Amino acid sequence: MDSKTIGILGGGQLGRMVVEAAHRLNVKTVILDAPNSPAKQIHAGEHVDGSFKDPADIAKLASKCDVITVEIEHVNADTLADLQKTGVEVHPSPETIRIIQDKYRQKEHLISHGIPVAESYEVTESTEAALVVAAEKVGYPCVVKAKTLAYDGRGNFVLKGPENVKEALEFLSDRPLYVEKWCPFVKELAVMVVRSTDGTTVAYPTVETVQKNNICHTVYAPARDVSPSTLYEAQLVAENAIKSFTGAGIFGVEMFLLENGTIVLNEIAPRPHNSGHYTTDACSTSQFEAHVRAILGLPLFPEMAQMRTADTHAIMLNILGGDKPDSELEYCKRSLSVPGSTIHLYGKTTRPERKMGHINIVASSMDECERRLAKISGEDIEEAPKTVEGVAGTSKTPLVSIIMGSDSDLKVMSAGADILRKFDIPFELTIVSAHRTAHRMAKFAAEVASRGVKAVIAGAGGAAHLPGMVASETTLPVIGVPVKGSSLDGVDSLYSIVQMPRGIPVATMGVNNSTNAALLAIRILAAYDATLHIRLAEYIKNMEKEVLAKADKLETIGYEQYLNQ
């Protein structure tokens, strides 16, 4: 796609996956790193053996390529700046790399551009006294951070009080330090942002990152249980941050979501990032291809960063090395039997805690992704029983929720439950009364969509308010079943349910017809599920056959005998 050759400083897994993306575009790459590094393994071309910190090696790489980029920020930025002066293209710019390399300088840069960050102060010298001075400005507990060469939490120390100051200095040895105010976050969010040579930015979805022992463990895309406006705000913060730097490429932006709902930027990586690995299997264009496009000046546009389809959800699980060779393969072996999971190994020798690979899990819902993750993690999740007797109000991952105003409606509503069971649709079934448990109903309605349910079936009799009230608090389709009471023959319930005001629809069924309510729910699911669609078509065909058989019998034996049988 482009006649330019890309030189990459660093041949680890990030470089490897950039090379993979470049291959598909017929874009040439050259790697500078140790022999047989992961990126070199998958490229038969001529590479440079050496160090991305050595000026001579970098110069050798530059002589073989047109554009230089990095897969790690701890490179020799001075050499890159010198090369840039001689006309070599460098992305992102050496100045950007230099600012980001020093986390304190990065923070000052972000503050000067109005980006929200945690309060922090420089430790003026590596003495206990200086550290105490800085720490007292933000209060205890606080985090002491190394300005440079920090990744996977190795440059951070949580300082609980003045008594730990000595320990902190020893842990972080002689590195330049700063102190950061303790950030009581409820969730860690991240957004990949790709920046073109002209400064245009495109943001990937907001994801949730979960760390274990300071190393990224899982990434949920999109982030779970975060409001749409917060997801959007995180993208804005990330984009604004990246707009403030120069040079092209992909950037990983890590953020904290605080209890009060505000977002604080934690730190930026000027390269492909672990929190964007899910993009390979879940987004239209992967972060690696986005990086190649950006540094070559190829098109970038918002839709490239979207999930592949409207119902795509993903989880990324990092595979870390264990104590024994190949111990990481345990996860991979289980993953081989889990639908929608794709293994990405990096060709590295096993070392404890080393990132050996990752697994991307893709499914139509986050619930399904989580079920798959549990299987890969070797956790047994008991599937909730699907019988009416067994559900007791909660299947763990229902697609349909059946609720009714009173247990007296159960006999009518159970027919619908039977249909769902017949189609193997996971559902829940419980009592929610509009009049007698108003608070429970409001909570149910507010949360039901975010639990992955796709349709609600609500049965009620008399002044049947339940379906309409639930419909007014959820965006899900609500199906109403009028249950016949002791008077008025069900017309009271029917009118109460069907005559909703404009704005809040309830899909109303015939009196007592919960069977059709279940079948409508299945039609809604089947509109997006080809397998279910086929089963539903079969079901309708079978109904036709049954009636034809009856007609045949009626015609054969005559109506009198038919009535007498």
Residues 13-42 that bind a second copy (CB under 8 A): 20, 23-26, 36, 40-42
The one among 48, 203, 238, 507 contacting a second copy by CB under 8 A: 507
Segment interacting with a second copy (CB under 8 A) among 60-68, 173-181, 257-265, 509-517? 509-517
Q: Round to whole Å and give the CA distance between 347 and 345.
A: 6
Asked whether position 277 contacts a second copy by CB under 8 A, the answer is no
Nearer to a second copy, 41 or 197 (CB): 41
DSSP 417-432: HHHHHHTT--EEEEE-
Nearer to a second copy, 161 or 339 (CB): 339
Three-class secondary structure of residue 484 per DSSP: coil
Q: Which of 137, 183, 133, 139 is nearest to 160 (CA)?
A: 139
The one among 91, 454, 465, 484 contacting a second copy by CB under 8 A: 454
Q: Minimum CB separation from a second copy for residue 42, in Å? A: 5
Nearer to a second copy, 164 or 318 (CB): 318
Segment interacting with a second copy (CB under 8 A) among 188-196, 212-220, 373-381, 517-525? 517-525
Asked whether position 343 contacts a second copy by CB under 8 A, the answer is yes
Asked whether position 533 contacts a second copy by CB under 8 A, the answer is yes
Asked whether position 520 contacts a second copy by CB under 8 A, the answer is yes
Segment interacting with a second copy (CB under 8 A) among 63-71, 185-193, 238-246, 296-304? 296-304
Asked whether position 363 contacts a second copy by CB under 8 A, the answer is yes
Nearer to a second copy, 29 or 164 (CB): 29
Nearer to a second copy, 151 or 539 (CB): 539
Segment interacting with a second copy (CB under 8 A) among 72-80, 98-106, 147-155, 518-526? 518-526
Q: Round to whole Å and give the CA distance between 491 and 462.
A: 9
Q: Which of 492, 543, 522 is nearest to 416 (CA)?
A: 522
Which tokens hold the place of 350?
């096993």
Asked whether position 266 contacts a second copy by CB under 8 A, the answer is no
Decide the pairing of beta strands 427-431 and 400-404: parallel
For residue 287, count other CB atoms closer than 10 A to its CB. Answer: 28
Decide the pairing of beta strands 249-258 and 215-221: unpaired
Three-class secondary structure of residue 521 per DSSP: helix
Which tokens hold the place of 243?
């707009």
Q: Minimum CB separation from a second copy for residue 152, in Å? A: 22
Segment interacting with a second copy (CB under 8 A) among 94-102, 181-189, 269-277, 329-337? 329-337
Size of interface with a second copy, in residues (CB under 8 A): 97
The one among 63, 127, 342, 387 contacting a second copy by CB under 8 A: 342
Q: Is 171 exposed, middle or buried (0-12, 13-18, 19+ CB in 10 A)?
A: middle
DSSP summary character for residue 73: S
The one among 244, 327, 433, 515 contacting a second copy by CB under 8 A: 515
DSSP 6-28: EEEE--SHHHHHHHHHHHHTT--
Q: Minimum CB separation from a second copy for residue 326, in Å? A: 9
Non-local (6+) Cβ contacts of 361 within 8 A are 314, 315, 316, 317, 338, 340, 341, 342, 369, 372, 373, 376
Asked whether position 262 contacts a second copy by CB under 8 A, the answer is no
Q: Minimum CB separation from a second copy for residue 386, in Å? A: 19
DSSP 224-248: TT--HHHHHHHHHHHHHHHHTS-S-
Asked whether position 516 contacts a second copy by CB under 8 A, the answer is yes
The one among 86, 112, 229, 260 contacting a second copy by CB under 8 A: 229
Q: Round to whole Å and give the CA distance between 229 and 50.
A: 47
The one among 170, 303, 379, 560 contacting a second copy by CB under 8 A: 303
3-state secondary structure 140-206: CCEEEEECCCCCCCCCEEEECCHHHHHHHHHHCCCCCEEEEECCCEEEEEEEEEEECCCCCEEECCC
Non-local (6+) Cβ contacts of 259 within 8 A are 184, 185, 186
Q: Minimum CB separation from a second copy for residue 351, in Å? A: 15
Task: Kindly identify the residues of this chain, within the stretch 412-451, that bind a second copy according to CB under 8 A.
Answer: 449
Task: Kindly identify the residues of this chain, within the stretch 45-74, that bind a second copy according to CB under 8 A.
Answer: 45
The one among 186, 528, 545, 549 contacting a second copy by CB under 8 A: 528
Q: Which of 73, 77, 79, 74 is nearest to 59 (CA)?
A: 79
The one among 387, 408, 499, 561 contacting a second copy by CB under 8 A: 499
Asked whether position 364 contacts a second copy by CB under 8 A, the answer is yes
The one among 87, 114, 228, 378 contacting a second copy by CB under 8 A: 228
